[in-house]
Amino acid sequence: MTATTSRVIAVTGGASGIGFAFSEALAKSGHRVVIADLRGAAEAAERLTAQGLQAIGTQTDVIKPDQVAQMVEQTVKAFGRFDVLVNNAGLFTTLALKPFDQITEAEWMRVMEVNTLGPFVCAKAAVPQMRKNGFGRIVNIASTTPIKGTPNMLHYVASKGAVIAFTRSLARELGKDEITVNAIAPGFTLSDGVLENDLHSKMGDVVRKTSRSLQRDQVPNDLVAALLFLASDGAGFITGQTIAVDGGSVFI
Ligand SMILES: NC(=O)c1ccc[n+]([C@@H]2O[C@H](COP(=O)([O-])OP(=O)(O)OC[C@H]3O[C@@H](n4cnc5c(N)ncnc54)[C@H](O)[C@@H]3O)[C@@H](O)[C@H]2O)c1
């Protein structure tokens, strides 16, 4: 049920954390991968090509339409097409946890910008290529926090709720083009960024002990099977869905 056709797949925020786990797993499954990240994209791609895998890196800020257009152009130049967009770049691990009334308007806007404008800008740039192919997959990385109503990060939770809504409406708009749009909602995951942030790491312990059915830490590799599935030929009739991968913490 996993991938049967080699696809050209761009992963935003693909240079580290969950995004790098996605990039590596996709490349190891025979896909050609474009790592689009603010920093470390070229180095991350080199880590893959050094293993004989197919990847390129492009320094891209997902909220900048000109940089995203360039990323799409570079993808088509390198690999001849653009099949799958993974909207993974997001602000989370660098955010301080705080009550809603201590979040500034500027912090709110910045989180919304990266987490909601970013996927919009990337989808707008990628969809024309997908329409050309008569094939396309968009996978948005949401979160289980809007389903749980997690406190002390209201801007983040609201942004990821928006990602789930975005997924559903865009799926309806793009069905006629044979483009599917789905979301993966990870639970609290020990990504590079989380491991560097003590407060976030402590939160992980609480999540595991209080709400997770499977009583162990969640790691980036726990998420890759859902992405490989959504990119696979067999998942072509699934759209508008959000798949929670969180060890059984929420049930959607
Ligand atoms: N780690 C978790 O517990 C968790 C849980 C649920 C959802 N998520 C989501 O998964 C995704 C990845 O999370 P992570 O924990 O690996 O995060 P991370 O902070 O470790 O990595 C995020 C990556 O995105 C890149 N990035 C940030 N802003 C960007 C921009 N404007 N343009 C391009 N790249 C940009 C960063 O450089 C980094 O490589 C995020 O969308 C996050 O919200 C994470």
pLDDT per residue over 196-205, tens digit each? Answer: 888 787 887 8
Mean of the pLDDT values across residues 163-178?
98
Q: Is the CB of 41 under 6 A from ligand 1?
A: no
Residue 20 pLDDT more than 70? yes
Put the strands of the sheet holding 179-186 in their side by side order. Answer: 55-59, 32-37, 8-12, 84-87, 136-141, 179-186, 242-245
Centre of ligand 1 from the C-alpha of residue 37, in Å: 10
From CA 244, how far away is CA 226, in angstroms rounded?
A: 9
Mean of the pLDDT values across residues 135-160?
98
What pLDDT score does 3 carry? 43
And the tokens for 103? 């979040």
Q: Is the CB of 193 under 6 A from ligand 1?
A: yes
Residue 2 pLDDT more than 80? no
All structural domains of the chain, each given as residue ranges with its CATH number in brackets, are 8-245 (3.40.50.720)
> 35: pLDDT confidence band, cut at 50, 70 and 90?
very high
Atom number, ligand 1, closest to the C-alpha of residue 16: 39
Residue 219 pLDDT more than 50? yes
Residue 1 pLDDT more than 50? no
Report the chain's mean pLDDT, rounded to a whole number.
Answer: 96
- Residues with a catalytic annotation lie at 156
Residue 72 pLDDT more than 60? yes
Q: Is the CB of 61 under 6 A from ligand 1?
A: yes
Burial 136-157 (b: 16+ CB within 10 A, else e): bbbbbbbbbbbbbebebbbbbb
The answer to whether 48 and 23 have CB atoms below 8 angstroms apart is: yes
Q: What percent of the chain has pLDDT over 70?
A: 98
Q: Is the CB of 62 under 6 A from ligand 1?
A: yes
CA torsion through residues 28, 34, 39, 44, sign:
positive
What pLDDT score does 204 carry? 79
The answer to whether 174 and 127 have CB atoms below 8 angstroms apart is: yes
pLDDT, greater one: 228 or 200: 228
Q: Is the CB of 202 under 6 A from ligand 1?
A: no
From CA 62, how far away is CA 131, in angstroms rounded?
A: 21
pLDDT tens digit sequence for 78-109: 999 999 999 999 999 999 999 999 999 999 99
Centre of ligand 1 from the C-alpha of residue 7, in Å: 23
pLDDT tens digit sequence for 150-169: 999 999 999 999 999 999 99
The answer to whether 208 and 174 have CB atoms below 8 angstroms apart is: no
Centre of ligand 1 from the C-alpha of residue 94, in Å: 9
What pLDDT score does 124 carry? 98
Atom number, ligand 1, closest to the C-alpha of residue 114: 31
Centre of ligand 1 from the C-alpha of residue 171, in Å: 23
Q: Is the CB of 150 under 6 A from ligand 1?
A: no
